[in-house]
Amino acid sequence: MARTPSSTYETGRHAPPPRVIAVTSGKGGVGKTNIVTNLAYSLARKGKKVLVLDADLNLANVDVLLGLTPKFNLHHVLIGEKRLRDILIKAPGGFQILPASSGIMELADLSEEQKLFFLSEISALGNIIDIMLIDTAAGINNNVIYFTLAAQEKVVVLTPEPTSLTDAYAMIKVLSSLHDVKRFRILVNSARTEKEALAVFRQLTLVSDRFLGSLSLDYLGFIPYDNKLPQAVRSQRLVVDMSPRSTASGKFFDLAEQLIQEEPEPHTDGNIKFFWKGLFNL
């Protein structure tokens, strides 16, 4: 007897379920939004269907960075005024942005019925997405933890500044000791050289090994300090778009390729629908 398809992925296509990657840091201003957006652009240029979830309520968020002014956001979906697919905005390079804005706060307080409706909306997106990247806010607050926990892969960004190391450590400590997260991917931003990036990574692993026990911290790579990046920010453009030959852009393209080459994780609890189910505690 034919098996009844149980998910959109089974009914819709044969590709693996979308990967969900959260980018977080503890400290603000270390480059999360630039990493998420430049990576999204690079992945999209390589043929991937990418959705960026802007889970940051602060001002320096994805739409500001790109000079976009979304008319509608998650709030309009949650109050039933818009369908989810209608609020997505197309960014340069072809990736999509899900503008969350104040809707992010409302997600925690939905009725069971609203959550189920929202999940069905999200499931429909599964067919048009390969990778979802989540840009989180600065600080270690409930909102940041909430989104990071629900993602399959957790990327912690830090820079060579000592305060950034402390904050990345604090974030890892909270996620591992309070929420049992055991695996983190570490991305060093604004390093002058790979040697410097590796030294920063080693420092982090040293404190983590010493005080947090057996965690897996994987070095994902580094993005160099590059003047072209703030220049692009000032023009409300992405560095990969404005200065594709710059050193930072080269690294973003390499990182995108590296992510594409990786085998998806064997379990499926990171796919889009499961991501939201996790958020909603269903």
Ligand X SMILES: Nc1ncnc2c1ncn2[C@@H]1O[C@H](COP(=O)(O)OP(=O)(O)OP(=O)(O)O)[C@@H](O)[C@H]1O
Q: Does 190 bind Mg ion (CB under 5 A)?
A: no
Q: Does 190 bind ligand X (CB under 6 A)?
A: yes
When the beta carbons of 33 and 176 are compared against Mg ion, the nearer one is: 33
Which listed range, 68-76, 140-148, 229-237, 264-272, lies at the site for ligand X (CB under 6 A)? 229-237
Q: What is the 3-state secondary structure (H, E, C) of the chain?
A: CCCCCCCHHHHHCCCCCCEEEEEECCCCCCCHHHHHHHHHHHHHHCCCCEEEEECCCCCCCHHHHHCCCCCCCHHHHHCCCCCHHHHCEECHHHCEEEECCCHHHHHHHCCHHHHHHHHHHHHHHHHHCCEEEEECCCCCCHHHHHHHHHCCEEEEEECCCHHHHHHHHHHHHHHHHHCCCCEEEEEEEEECCHHHHHHHHHHHHHHHHHHHCCCEEEEEEEEECCCHHHHHHHCCCCHHHHCCCCHHHHHHHHHHHHHHHCCCCCCCCCCHHHHHHHHHCC
**From the list 233, 237, 264, 277, which residue makes contact with ligand X (rule: CB under 6 A)?**
233
When the beta carbons of 30 and 51 are compared against ligand X, the nearer one is: 30
Name the minimum Å distance from CB 224 to ligand X: 6
Positions 27 through 66 that interact with Mg ion (CB under 5 A):
32-33
**From the list 87, 122, 144, 223, which residue makes contact with ligand X (rule: CB under 6 A)?**
223
Build a one-symbol-per-residue string for 21-60: x at contacts with ligand X by CB under 6 A, - elsewhere.
Answer: ----x--xxxxxxx---------------------x-x-x
**From the list 184, 225, 274, 276, which residue makes contact with ligand X (rule: CB under 6 A)?**
225
207 binds, among ligand X, Mg ion, none (CB under 5 to 8 A by kind): none
CA 5 remoteness from chain centre? 29
Q: CB nearest Mg ion: which residue?
A: 33
Name the minimum Å distance from CB 139 to ligand X: 8
Name the minimum Å distance from CB 126 to Mg ion: 26
Binding residues (CB under 6 A) for ligand X: these are 25, 28-34, 56, 58, 60, 138, 189-190, 223, 225-226, 229-230, 233, 248
